[in-house]
């Protein structure tokens, strides 16, 4: 099975491809390029849900139009911020649910998600069996991961997000966009994050981006067989 992995930036893409050893093959796409390593195509699609959705959609459409084997799984991957002590810096998180935390409307009574407005959706659920298998292989925590368009920078905002989404483990900026594109192509989606910082006040001196990137490489080394071998209809 072929797997499409979508990151935000090239440094995350390269952390993923390092897990597979050797130099990846480069495949040109409109507006970008795929780094191909065996069954894995890794794409740096850009920051934020809109760029991630567009890049994912292009890659899925290109695969569908070619004679190559279509993708059986899409993975949103990269680094992110964590909410709880259960996910310390350098640890891994697998999303049980991919949640658009700021898609909706502000009202005098607080934030309303897009679903409460009567249209759209604000979450995708990853295949539960796959989540369990990847979490076990990587030694990762499993729980909701929030997608935000603006990275949280205050304790107040972090508290508001946790109050609205109890049990959320992490936040990042691309998962929901990747999931939206994958769902429209009827391809299962997973989100895998390595924790680089705590959600809340932005203390760059406390960030551990290098450790998180190393953990991301390690995660794909440990889960490659699970991801490549997983088939949606087997579960």
Report, as an integer, the average pLDDT of 2-23. Answer: 95
Three-class SS of residue 62?
Answer: helix
Q: Is the dihedral of CA 163, 108, 117, 148 positive or negative?
A: negative
So what's the pLDDT on residue 177? 97
Residue 232 has pLDDT above 80, yes or no: no
- Read off φ and ψ for residue 169, nearest 5 degrees: -100, -30
* 228 neighbors 1 (Cβ within 8 angstroms): yes
Considering the chain, what percentage of its residues have pLDDT values greater than 90?
A: 63
Q: What tokens appear for 54 in the block?
A: 């567009």
* 68 neighbors 62 (Cβ within 8 angstroms): no
Confidence band, pLDDT 50/70/90 cuts, at residue 133: very high
Say how many Å lie between the first and final Cα of the chain, rounded: 15
* 1 neighbors 231 (Cβ within 8 angstroms): yes
Considering the chain, what percentage of its residues have pLDDT values greater than 70?
A: 97
- In order of 26, 32, 153, 189, 202, the CA distances from 36 in angstroms are 6, 13, 35, 19, 35
Confidence band, pLDDT 50/70/90 cuts, at residue 44: very high
So what's the pLDDT on residue 3? 95
Report the DSSP pairing between strands 189-198 and 92-100.
Answer: antiparallel
Report the DSSP pairing between strands 104-107 and 123-125.
Answer: unpaired
- Give the separation between CA 99 and CA 110, rounded to whole angstroms: 18
So what's the pLDDT on residue 46? 93
Residue 230 has pLDDT above 70, yes or no: yes
**Lowest-pLDDT choice from 15-19, 85-89, 186-190:** 85-89
So what's the pLDDT on residue 120? 85
pLDDT, greater one: 201 or 172: 172
Residue 233 has pLDDT above 60, yes or no: no
- Global model pTM greater than 0.75: yes
Report, as an integer, the average pLDDT of 127-145. Answer: 96
So what's the pLDDT on residue 234? 54
* 45 neighbors 8 (Cβ within 8 angstroms): yes
pLDDT digits (tens, 9 = 90+) for 214-226: 999 999 999 999 9
So what's the pLDDT on residue 104? 85
- Give the separation between CA 42 and CA 36, rounded to whole angstroms: 6
pLDDT digits (tens, 9 = 90+) for 70-121: 899 999 999 999 998 878 888 999 999 999 998 888 888 888 888 888 888 8
Residue 235 has pLDDT above 90, yes or no: no
* 220 neighbors 24 (Cβ within 8 angstroms): no
């Amino acid at each position: 099975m072929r797997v499409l992995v979508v990151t935000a930036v090239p440094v995350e893409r390269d952390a993923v491809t390092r897990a597979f050893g050797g130099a990846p093959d480069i495949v040109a796409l409109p507006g970008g390029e795929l780094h191909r390593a065996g069954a894995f195509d890794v794409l740096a699609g850009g920051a934020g849900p809109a760029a991630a959705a567009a890049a994912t959609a292009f890659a899925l459409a290109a695969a569908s139009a070619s004679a190559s084997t279509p993708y059986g799984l899409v993975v949103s991957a990269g680094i992110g911020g964590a909410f709880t002590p259960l996910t310390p810096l350098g640890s891994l998180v697998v999303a049980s649910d991919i949640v658009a935390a700021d898609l909706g409307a502000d009202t005098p009574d607080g934030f309303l998600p897009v679903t409460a407005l009567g249209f759209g959706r604000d979450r995708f659920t990853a295949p539960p069996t796959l989540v369990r298998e990847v979490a076990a292989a990587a030694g990762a925590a499993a729980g909701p991961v929030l997608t935000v368009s603006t990275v949280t920078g205050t304790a107040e905002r972090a508290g508001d997000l946790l109050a609205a989404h109890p049990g959320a483990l992490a936040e990042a900026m691309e998962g929901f966009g990747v999931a939206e594109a994958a769902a429209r192509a009827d391809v299962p989606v997973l989100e895998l994050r390595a924790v680089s910082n705590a959600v809340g006040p932005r203390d760059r001196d406390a960030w551990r981006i290098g450790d998180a990137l190393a953990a991301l490489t390690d995660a794909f080394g440990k889960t490659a067989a699970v991801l490549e071998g997983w088939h949606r209809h087997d579960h």
